Amino acid sequence: MYPRLVVDLKKVEHNTRIISDSCKTQGVDIMGVTKVFCGFEKIAEAEVKGGIKFLADSRIENLMKLNDLSAEKVLLRLPMISQASEVVKYADISLNSELKTIQALNDAAKKQGTIHKIMLMVDLGDLREGILPNQVDVVVTEILKLDHIKLYGLGVNLTCYGGVIPSEKNLGQLAEIADHIEKTYDIQLEMVSGGNSSSYYLVPQEKLPKKINNLRMGEILVLGRETAYGDAVEDMHDDAFIFEAEIVELKEKASVPTGDIGMDAFGNKPTFVDKGIRRRAILAAGVQDVKAAQLIPMDDKIDFLGSSSDHMIWDVTDSEENYEVGDIVKFKLEYGSMLSLFTSEYIQKDFI
């Protein structure tokens, strides 16, 4: 059934084991971030087999799918107060930056007769979530007053919003803040999480500050590359996930539409380059299914032209393949295209 996404679970497990083993040499555990594949249990299970002890996601709904897997569950997105009860029930740990939310989690944990672990996020310049360093003492003092919250650790997020590269300097600052908290309040932080896949490049270089003992890994496990500079990691697979779409029309047509150009289906005014008559393949998948511009065709002689809701158009003029209607075109993925494919209910997901 097409369009479909084919997942090689052995390759996912292999990728995970390489990163997990590499990080262990530096005393670092990793979280497997499951949000890009919407918490599909089979893929998360492959990551657990590869050495994952923590499974992390931005959506409680995805953590609920993973409830039976033997790994601690972590909520990555800052909790919503309206979901405090669900957060405590389905997440062992949550990332937090707001005292009002932490108080709500404390109340929910009290009702459920449990202790909820939190990681306090610190903003070190990327300007997404986190308290500012000069707020640490005020916030930690209030957290330690709560009887159903455990301050489990400290974390930072980098590159996701502002594109700030993790470095010895900014991660060193996180380590210093962790040391300050432990000495000032006579507590032990069990986890100091130094970011995501963009921090991995520091591991082989042995430049990760010693206090950092956790990284939250998503893209690197599924696509085989770190995300600070986009470099492939040696011996890892970039083809564990393959998208396949069927050609439903194949015709030679002009490269510029005829008539006055207005808005397309999404309110944009498109522009075109006149390349003459080109052989154009329409594939049965569109914007509702995938970010087509972030697909990587395995036939590198074809070029993306555009998408509507249910169709995407590729220029196959220069391809050495003799495509016909009904043929299947295969693609490797970028992070954005993978996320959209897993989110679409119209894409068949097959596991091998």
The per-residue pLDDT for range 258-311, each reduced to its tens digit, is 888 888 888 888 888 889 999 999 999 999 999 999 999 999 999 999 999 999
N-to-C CA span, the chain: 15
Q: Are 16 and 54 in contact (CB under 8 A)?
A: no
Catalytic residue, chosen from 35, 110, 150, 330, is 35
CB half-sphere exposure, 299, CA atoms < 13 A = 18
Strand extents, DSSP E, the chain: 4-7, 29-33, 54-57, 72-75, 93-96, 116-121, 149-155, 191-193, 214-217, 241-254, 277-283, 295-297, 303-307, 312-315, 328-333, 348-351
Has 73 been annotated as catalytic? no
State residue 268's pLDDT score. 86
For 11, residues 6+ apart whose C-beta sits below 8 A from its C-beta are 237, 239, 240
> Which token pair is 40?
């599909």
Span 21-30, pLDDT tens digits = 999 999 999 9
The model carries a pTM of 0.94
Using the predicted structure, report yes or no on whether residue 129 has a pLDDT greater than 90: yes
- Which neighbouring-strand residues pair with 94? 75, 118
Instruction: State the pLDDT confidence band at 197, using cuts at 50, 70 and 90.
Output: very high
State residue 172's pLDDT score. 97
State residue 266's pLDDT score. 83
State residue 184's pLDDT score. 98
72-79 own/partner pairs: CB under 8 Å, 24+ apart: 74/31, 74/119, 74/216, 76/33, 76/35, 76/216, 78/121, 78/129, 79/104, 79/105
Using DSSP, state whether 191 is helix, strand or coil. strand
Residue bearing tokens 């500079």:
229
State residue 216's pLDDT score. 98
Using the predicted structure, report yes or no on whether residue 193 has a pLDDT greater than 90: yes
| Of residues 232, 185, 180, the one with CA closest to residue 204 | 232
State residue 23's pLDDT score. 97
Rounded CA-CA distance 327/274 in Å is 27
- Other Cβ atoms less than 10 A from the Cβ of 37: the count is 27
Fill in the DSSP letter of residue 4. E
Q: What is the mean pLDDT of residues 30-38?
A: 97
Q: What is the mean pLDDT of residues 97-106?
A: 98
